[in-house]
Structure 1
Amino acid sequence: MFVHKRPLSVLLLLLIAFLPHAAPYEWMSALKLPSFNMDNVKNKMDVKKQFGDKKLVVITGTSSGMGRKAAKALLRTGDYHVIGAVRDLDKMDVVAGLDDFDRSSFTPMHLDLNSFSSVHSFVDELFEFKKTKPVDRLVCNAGIYQPSLPHAKWSEDGHEQTMQTNFLSHFLLISKLIADMSESDDARVVTVGSVTGNDNTVGGGGVYPVADLKDLDGLKAGFSNPISMLDGYNFIGAKAYKDSKLVLMMTANMLHDRYHKATGISFSSIYPGCIAESPLFREKRPWFRKYFPVFMKFVTGGFVGEEEAGQRLFQVCHDPRCVKSGVYWSWNGGPREGRGAEALEKGGQIIGAGGAGGGWDSIFENEQSDKVKDIETTFNLFKYATEVTGAEWSEVSVAKSPCPTLKVVGLVTAAINAKEEAKRMKPEPGMVGAIDLKAKAANNFDFITQGTVVKAVKAVQDKFLGDLPEDAVKGSYQSERNVDDAVEHNVSVSPSLEDTETMKRRLNDLIEKGELNCTDNPELCGL
């Protein structure tokens, strides 16, 4: 039997000619049968073996102060595996031994917040360690306070040290973990703010310098040496610290507005109280370190020891009430030191003393200052900080149904909508918009199917929905009134140009005959 073979060149020409019309069918290649991935099963088994049912917590600054005490409290519950992100691993090892950390549930990792490169390296190490286990808690706790510096110190990246350590590097860290944390069923990001960043308080608004970002000219200009302040003015060490706490609280608000509903992550900030004996004040003069705690204890009553502050930070990570997002957490009452191990919280409730006067049940949603809640400044802060740090934020997406039928219906509907939109994009006088490639593809789709799909859908619509009302096809209008009748009854109308001339002539006739008094009807005579 003789078989006619077409030349290869002819086949290639046919293929090239058909390619533009094949685009609408590309969606079919995405339809796949469910698969069983053994690698995923193995990964889940490995994660279960490594972490059990424990939640994974990342805390910056766990080698001293509040972060150290919070890590200790988290570990003692047995519900968490804590990643201690610290600059000095040797110091962290000593602290872990002194505080009797459970080494099987505590993993120290190097993180120098004075370097963006270190942030990237830390995240790489974290992801390699945790495998597919999502991070459940991220606590941005580490910070430095350099109030006595006569001039700015610069980070590895050329930014003022206080702002990079306290804010910019944490900002970058959050951006790199937010997508991973969205996989957790109970994810929380906690930033440590301060009363000094809220100018609606005595501590924040009554003591110079006051936290104030102005127009963020310094950050907008790149915030690199020699620019040392976010507002673009001269350096003051105490103000740099206060500004850093202000922007941390603003960032928590922005993240809540932008990501909470889409990801389920809870974003909050806290003020645990004044930790007057903290290493944070190590650069203050000796007399200040001696008398400042006394002043806070017996004059203001705002003193909080490291142990108490650590338990407050622990509470925001652990207490079911603190899953609420967009909150600035604070505590009523004075310090409640010396509660001991029996005061550790279990199952969201405190055991023993400490329920009031600054304890577990004294937590409340504090009010933030107008500066913290300034939407425009917060938006610009987020924008400029993203540019300075090189942060890449995940696009917010809405969950989609995995149902194959809905996917097919959605794809067909999208094709029909694109076809109808293509009609509106047909070149005509007055159209200045560019031709949409999707609309062009829709025309190709219609050409191939000869409108079969669209006609079928329209037939179904007509069958079940019935005919359109006549007014919907021809248009509905208000009843028109005769011009002479309108003049006679002094009723306003919206006439055409032709009717306007007729009205003018009719009015002139009435005026000449004395039948229309312009004094009584100035609006008609004005025509």
Structure 2
Amino acid sequence: MSSAPSITPWNVHRPPRADGRVFLVTGGNAGIGYFVAEQLAATGATVVLGSRNPAKAGEAMASIRARVTGARVRAVRLDLADLSSLTTVADSLGVDRLDAVVHNAGVALDDPPRQETVDGHELMFGTNHLGHFALTRWLMPLLSAAPAARVVTMGSFAAKSERLDLDDLQSRKDYRPKRTYGRSKLAQMSFGLELDRRLRAAGSPVASVVVHPGGALDALTPSRPPIHVRTTAARLSAAPAALLIQGKHAGAWPAVRAVLDPAVRGGQLWGPRAFGLRGEPRREAMWNHLADTTLAAGLWDASRDLTGVDPGALLG
């Protein structure tokens, strides 16, 4: 008799090898995106940092190479707040296929006034959601060329208490920075799930997964100078918070697992194990408002009209 093959438990410190694969991380030069890139680079994959700031991308690449022997990492200029600039990103990658993209880059404003992108969209909604929506369209040929590519969308716990208003996606009637940020992340997450539904309907090999980092605090994040420097005072003052939340290195774990773990499936939601705030990554039950397919379809149509592109146009 032959026994069933054992399943190796997921180890956040020893993810599986990914030699020969190519991953793009938007906003990979700072914050959680940096740690996603660093951890993916340790698997032997080629990791491309999407960044609008070449100098900061250079610092991030140097930091990754200092910590990951033989790291294959490079950068491509990427400005999600300028939709016209995204049309050339796929060509700039210089590859014939893309095994995953992590939609991580984002803008979070704390104070008024309301700001807009060069295209006239509210800055957080335009960057966090519309920029990634349009980028997905331009990357789809490269993703479809890979055997089993993944689109991983980095959401936020801040989206859990928000609701989308299709009549005020640009926050013209109700602009409150923290609420607008939460809604922009909710739009991202809703898009990621709707994308997977359309991918499945088209029989595409590409899968779309949504993740969130839980509570990720700078003061609990290990130093990566000059990208991030944690002082002793900051570490000590944040020590009590470590019972409930974590650093940005741990906030990267759900996205890294969503990229690499063959057990992860499209249309799933992944986050930290403990109350969705800290700990190792696990699959979460779908939030009720993320299960609203009618709203998600309405958001897709509105996003298509606002950007002038459709990520599903090439699916069949």
Q: Is the 8 A contact 1:55 1:136 kept in 2?
A: yes
Q: Is the 8 A contact 2:134 2:307 kept in 1?
A: yes
1:369-448 to structure 2, matched below 5 A, reads 369-392=287-310, 393-397=312-316
Change (3 A) 1:335 1:294: farther
Q: Is the 8 A contact 2:254 2:270 kept in 1?
A: no
Inter-partner Cα distance in structure 1 for 2:89 and 2:250: 29
Pairwise CA RMSD: 2.7
Change (3 A) 1:255 1:118: same
Aligned to 1:134, which of 90, 97, 108?
97
User: SS at 2:290's partner residue?
Assistant: coil
Residue 74 (structure 2) aligns with:
107
Change (3 A) 1:212 1:108: same
Aligned to 1:297, which of 242, 261, 272?
242
Larger Rg: 1
1:73 matches 2:73: no
Structure with higher strand content: 2
1:55 matches 2:21: yes
Residue 308 (structure 1) aligns with:
250
Change (3 A) 1:103 1:237: farther
Aligned to 2:156, which of 194, 205, 227?
194
Inter-partner Cα distance in structure 1 for 2:181 and 2:219: 15
How far 1:146 sits from its partner (Å)?
0.6
1:179 matches 2:141: yes
Inter-partner Cα distance in structure 1 for 2:283 and 2:296: 20
Change (3 A) 1:375 1:263: same
Unaligned runs of 5+ in 2: 1-17, 221-233
Aligned to 2:179, which of 230, 239, 252?
239
Q: Is the 8 A contact 1:75 1:102 kept in 2?
A: no
TM-score, normalization by structure 2? 0.81
Moved over 6 A (4+): 289-292
Deviation string 1:26-57 (CA, Å, 9 cap, x unpaired) is xxxxxxxxxxxxxxxxxxxxxxxxxx961111
Structure with higher helix content: 1
Deviation string 1:177-222 (CA, Å, 9 cap, x unpaired) is 2233122112110001112212xxxxx3xxxxxx2223x1134xxx
Residue 353 (structure 1) aligns with:
none
1:20-31 to structure 2, matched below 5 A, reads none
Inter-partner Cα distance in structure 2 for 1:295 and 1:325: 36
Change (3 A) 1:66 1:106: same
Residue 217 (structure 1) aligns with:
167
Aligned to 2:107, which of 116, 131, 144?
144
User: SS at 2:148's partner residue?
Assistant: coil
Inter-partner Cα distance in structure 1 for 2:251 and 2:113: 31
Inter-partner Cα distance in structure 2 for 1:55 and 1:94: 23
Change (3 A) 1:73 1:256: same
Inter-partner Cα distance in structure 2 for 1:106 and 1:250: 30
1:116 matches 2:83: yes
Q: Is the 8 A contact 1:304 1:335 kept in 2?
A: no
User: SS at 2:279's partner residue?
Assistant: coil
Inter-partner Cα distance in structure 2 for 1:374 and 1:58: 29
Count of aligned pairs between the two proteins? 282
How far 1:291 sits from its partner (Å)?
11
Residue 265 (structure 1) aligns with:
206
Q: Is the 8 A contact 1:92 1:108 kept in 2?
A: yes
Residue 519 (structure 1) aligns with:
none
Percent sequence identity over aligned pairs: 24
Residue 36 (structure 1) aligns with:
none
Q: Is the 8 A contact 2:29 2:51 kept in 1?
A: yes
Higher RCO, Cα 8 Å, sep 6+: 2
Change (3 A) 1:250 1:295: farther
TM-score, normalization by structure 1? 0.50
